[in-house]
Structure 1
Amino acid sequence: MAKKPSDRQVHTEQLQDDLRHLSDTVEELVNATAKDASSEMRDLRERAEQRLKDTRARVEARGEQLYTDTRDSLTQQADCCDRYVRDNPWTSVGIGAAAGVVVGLLLGRR
């Protein structure tokens, strides 16, 4: 069974594609105007290059922050689950057995 991507994944992928496309377009513009020697065009090109670098740095930093936050959250949740199982072993065994029965019944219906 194939996993359906979540809305967040779809939006993230769309944002990545949009940023990649924008970055490529700005790079093409900078390269295309590289031969123009006018001072106004040179200043514009330098500002575009600087903004592109700044945007890339911000996006990378945000991505790293999201990764760190997600990793920390999952670690905290796993630790909480581990603590619950250690504090309530028989309850955990009962929950696991009940889940196994339900899954077995659902699979047996096929």
Structure 2
Amino acid sequence: MIEPIPTQTGARDQLMNDLKTVISDAESWLRNGGQLTGEEFQAAKAKFERTLHNAKEDLVRFEQNVVEKTKIAAKATDEYVTENPWKSVGIGAAVGVVIGMLIARK
């Protein structure tokens, strides 16, 4: 049997926090960019670039996690259908009938 991957809500939360920080830094940079001196400007730019880099890395990790979970779900589905072909046909037919009835009501 296939073991599920633990949920990665922490990775998703970190990605969302990084994206919020990027947006906040960008807004601050746009608001105050004209008032910054050369050294302050360089420090703000470096901070923004670091935050953006972190957000990109988190996005890549999150994407890899989603792809891996999708592959596991597809394999589990394939195994189930292989082991239970007539049940799968019945479930598919039942879902089709329900969807057909919902469409016909409109």
After superposition, the C-alpha distances for 1:46-86 in whole angstroms (9 at most, x for unaligned) are 32122111101101111111111111111111111111111
Q: Note if 1:101 corresponds to 2:97.
A: yes
The superposition leaves residues 21-62 of structure 1 with CA deviations (integer Å, 9 ceiling, x where unpaired) of 6325426644x257xxxxxx4443332122111101101111
Q: Which residue of 2 aligns with 1:65?
A: 61
- Conserved in 1, the CA contact under 8 Å of 2:29 and 2:44? yes
RMSD, matched Cα: 2.8
- Greater Rg, structure 1 or structure 2? 1
- Same amino acid, percent of matched pairs: 25
The range that moved more, 77-86 or 16-25, is 16-25
TM-score for both structures, normalised by structure 1:
0.64
- Give the distance between the partners of 1:49 and 1:109, measured in 2 at CA: 57
Q: Secondary structure at the match of 1:105?
A: helix
> Could you tell me how far 1:107 is from its partner in structure 2?
2.7
CA distance in 2, matches of 1:94, 1:68: 34
Q: What residue number does 1:50 align with? A: 46
Number of positions where the alignment pairs a residue of Structure 1 with one of Structure 2:
91
Give 1:3's aligned residue. Answer: none
Amino acid corresponding to residue 23 of structure 1 in structure 2: A
Look up the match of 1:74: 70
> 1:53/1:27 Cα in 2 relative to 1: closer, same or farther (>3 Å)?
farther
TM-score normalised by L of structure 2: 0.65
Q: Structure 2: any 5+ residue segments left out of the alignment?
A: 1-11
From 25, 30, 53, give the equivalent of 1:22.
Answer: 25
